[in-house]
Structure 1
Amino acid sequence: MPARPRLLYVTDLSYPARGRRYCDEDIALTSRLRADFDIALCHPLEAVALMDGFDAVVVRNSGPVLHYQREYDDFRARAARGTRVYNPLTGRADMAGKQYLLDLTGAGHPVIPTVDRVEDLLRLPASDLYAVKPKAGADSIGLEFVPWDRLPDLAWGDVLVQPRINFRYEVSFYYVDDAFQYALHAPDPERRWVLEPYEPTEADLSFARGFIDWNTLDHGIQRVDACRTRDGELLLVELEDLNPYLSLDRVPEATRESFAVAMTASLQRFLRVRPV
């Protein structure tokens, strides 16, 4: 490994994310990481052509993969030949699709109950409306809410169904490797990305850590998204292990710096690991 490792940082700076500015976050973070790495930014569609010239590829705010699925599949195939990718492409949460929500439901974990077969509908708690999500969806693309009597007519096999939860707020926990960094919450359920710092309890951290431990990543950045029900329970909404937006503009400068330090150390450890 050279004295200053070369990183190809994958980001879609122009992606129109609702309530988020990918470009600001990635410009600021790469500016900080340049203290320890030589970094080049590239669009997801350019990653395959450029990746061989770098010590590792860092996938960050690259947008929903469904917009470039063929190119992403090619990227994964090329990376399997020996390219280091951070996060490593071994995660079993959003990185691998939505099957994990079904697996976690079946195993009794604290997750919003999820089914993908019409014969399993009676396993869901009663609700006024049900969230229907494409299995290949991301960033709320294709999400709709439907009443019970419409559920049997869905295109089963391609969708997930969950009860609509009347939650108090959403909260996200951010991790580098297995170390908690900070938490943010959205006090207004109608404004998902208007976030404020959140001080988690020990019970909150135990909840979030359970999903970090369940996943199969030794290195990388993960975001545990949850909702707080009216009864006070936390339920998993999503475990983002591919390219989680970090909302670093919503945390104090000291927290941004400590996150950059943690990410730098994680990348350095990752680059020292002998390739498989």
Structure 2
Amino acid sequence: MPPARPRVLYLTDLAYQARGRRYCDEDIFLTSRLRADFDLALCHPRDAAALLDAFDAVVVRNTGPVLAHRDAYAAFRERAAARGTPVYNPLTGKADMAGKQYLLELTAAGYPVIPTVDRAEDLHLLPAADRYVVKPKLGADSLGLRVVPADGVRDAVGPAAGDLLVQPCVDFAYEVSFYFVDQDFQYALHAPDTGRRWELVPYEPTPADLGFARRFIEWNGLDHGIQRVDACRAPGGELLLVELEDLNPYLSLDALDDRRRDAFVTAVTASLHRFLRSGTASR
């Protein structure tokens, strides 16, 4: 009798509407390939806690912003921890998985990130700029993001500290994203037109580019999972971190050729097998 195949609960919101992207197409493609190795069922994040008992592991993919279902997400995390159910990506990520507090920590530690503060009294620590970006710490997909003029940034932050982030509005040349499985680089994509940031094309990173991206992967310390390092090319030519997505990064697989797409699927399949063998749980 053949050995039982791992049973995987794949979290996604196939109805989520994203500007310029169809999340559902990516998950339909990826699950069609993962079924070769796993017994797999798709599940909306609101149903995850109730269905966990029937599966060996959970894969969190294109679920949309957690803000849309915070109570259900908290119940899922609590249930997974209580059962010891492995969750991929592991729920120990220090980046977007935990909110955007990490941008403050990385700024303070001198990492190459867009300088970030969260209090009006710290605005003087930012480089002078004509405009500033103000966004919620728990934001996603640009929800709640505002660009305000310099003379209005203090009022935009307000007296309350802790729930908003402020950054100078960087006049960057382009954005570029680096995609990793576990600790291994897979591919990079960039948006040559800053006004059409979701129209991505392949990007061949330099050794310096990869060194930049790997610093943040190493900082986050996840041994398993899919991560995306988003950066912008600043006016001085250097890369600055925009976001480190370690919860449910959209992968833009439709921007890859067949060879790179197949290589990515192979890497994720192998990573999931290693993850399940390791016994790494969600705690």
- With the shorter chain as reference, the TM-score category is over 0.9
Encode CA deviations 1:123-154: one digit per residue, 9 max, x unaligned.
Answer: 10011100000111110000001112222222
CA–CA distance in structure 2, aligned partners of residues 209 and 107 of structure 1: 16
Which residue matches 2:53? 52
Encode CA deviations 1:42-74: one digit per residue, 9 max, x unaligned.
Answer: 111111111111010000000000011111111
Contact 2:183 2:223 in 1 (8 A): yes
Identify the match of residue 143 of structure 1 among 133, 142, 145: 145
Q: CA shift at 1:275, angstroms? A: 4.5
Contact 2:86 2:279 in 1 (8 A): no
1:197 is matched by which residue type in structure 2? P
Q: Which moved more, 1:243-252 or 1:2-11?
A: 2-11
Encode CA deviations 1:233-265: one digit per residue, 9 max, x unaligned.
Answer: 100000000000000000011111000100001
1:185 to 1:275, Cα distance in 2 relative to 1, 3 A = closer
CA–CA distance in structure 1, aligned partners of residues 203 and 52 of structure 2: 37
Encode CA deviations 1:172-228: one digit per residue, 9 max, x unaligned.
Answer: 000000000000000011111100000000000000000000002110000000000
- In percent, how many aligned pairs have the same letter? 71
Which residue matches 2:11? 10
Contact 2:189 2:203 in 1 (8 A): yes
Which residue matches 1:219? 224
Which residue matches 1:69? 70
2:89 is matched by which residue type in structure 1? N
Which residue matches 1:118? 120
CA–CA distance in structure 2, aligned partners of residues 123 and 149 of structure 1: 16
- Over 4 Å off, 4+ runs: none
Encode CA deviations 1:55-107: one digit per residue, 9 max, x unaligned.
Answer: 10000000000011111111111111111100000000000111100000000
What root-mean-square deviation, in Å, do the aligned CA atoms of Structure 1 and Structure 2 show? 1.0
Q: Which moved more, 1:70-79 or 1:247-256?
A: 70-79
CA–CA distance in structure 1, aligned partners of residues 126 and 265 of structure 2: 41
Aligned residues: 275
Contact 2:65 2:140 in 1 (8 A): yes
CA–CA distance in structure 1, aligned partners of residues 251 and 211 of structure 2: 20
Work out whether 1:260 is the aligned partner of 2:261.
no
Which residue matches 2:30? 29
Using the size of structure 1 for normalisation, the TM-score is 0.98
Listed as ranges, the gaps of 5+ residues in structure 1 are: none
Secondary structure in 2 aligned to 1:112? coil
CA–CA distance in structure 2, aligned partners of residues 70 and 174 of structure 1: 29
Using the size of structure 2 for normalisation, the TM-score is 0.95
Contact 2:58 2:88 in 1 (8 A): yes
Which residue matches 2:136? 134
Which residue matches 1:87? 89
Encode CA deviations 1:16-50: one digit per residue, 9 max, x unaligned.
Answer: 01111111000000001111111100111111111
Which residue matches 1:241? 246
Listed as ranges, the gaps of 5+ residues in structure 2 are: none
